[in-house]
Amino acid sequence: MNPVVVVRHALTEGAGYLGDFLTEKQIPWQMIRIDQGDPLPADMAAYSGMALMGGPMSVNDDLPWIAPLVRLIQDAMQRDIPVLGHCLGGQLISKALGARVGKNPVKEIGWLEVEVTPGEISQQWFGDLRHFNAFHWHGETFALPEGATHLLSSPYCRNQAYAFGKHLALQCHIEMTAEMVKVWCGNGQDEIGGSIASTGVQTVEEIQRDLPARVAGLNRVSHRVYEHWIRGLAG
């Protein structure tokens, strides 16, 4: 099998649990580190899937790698190669599909419940789950692209996830490990402090409360989601 390519946009926002999952399943994968200046491939012919991780930037920023990466996402879709996006990654998928990405009414930082939209396609991704606690760290969100199926919502953000055929875009983070949460809290203390008046932002103490149990619960959800996603990997 050709490898899955994982695109990292920031040093602290790597593959997380997704990398552990792919390794456990003996699915080869390799990382392109945008933050380190790694070049993007000319096309997706050598890969079986594409996973896009998070990052502090906006898809609307004037950054030299955004347009080539959007074209690469479109190339993957044209080749029927599944794409999976987390937070910024989900926004990049949305941009590739022509959907608007802009400011969310409320910033979300911390552990907040998402609700699964009822339906057959939602059940394929999430089984019998009706809601679960996901991790969030975002101020922007995506509109639903034409032809997409809505999957998740939260009280502060309508579009938390959608499926587009075998492709999945997430606004929330399901890839978290306990170490990632701790690092993000350390690096993001000023942002949390400056946004704590927002109803969607938790304190560092609340974010790290019962962290092992919260991460374990999220990993069970992401395992189910990733299991469904890898069924679509190109041979």
Average pLDDT over residues 21-40: 98
Exposure on the CB side of residue 170, measured as CA atoms within 13 A: 27
If one counts the domains in the chain, the total is 1
User: From CA 152, how far away is CA 74, in angstroms rounded?
Assistant: 23
Q: Please answer whether residues 138 and 108 qualify as being in contact, where contact means their C-beta atoms are separated by less than 8 angstroms.
A: yes
135: which 2 tokens?
């991790």
pLDDT higher than threshold 80 for residue 235: no
Note if the pTM is more than 0.85: yes
14 part of a folded domain: yes
Euclidean distance between the first and final Cα of the chain, in Å?
6
Q: Please answer whether residues 48 and 2 qualify as being in contact, where contact means their C-beta atoms are separated by less than 8 angstroms.
A: yes
Q: pLDDT tens-digit profile of 126-148?
A: 999 999 999 999 999 999 999 99
84 part of a folded domain: yes
CATH number of the domain where residue 181 is located: 3.40.50.880
User: From CA 235, how far away is CA 229, in angstroms rounded?
Assistant: 14
110 part of a folded domain: yes
29 part of a folded domain: yes
pLDDT higher than threshold 90 for residue 176: yes
Rounded to the nearest 10 degrees, the angle between the axes of helix 211-230 and helix 178-187 is 110
235 part of a folded domain: no
For residue 136, the enclosing domain spans 4-230
Average pLDDT over residues 8-19: 97
10 part of a folded domain: yes
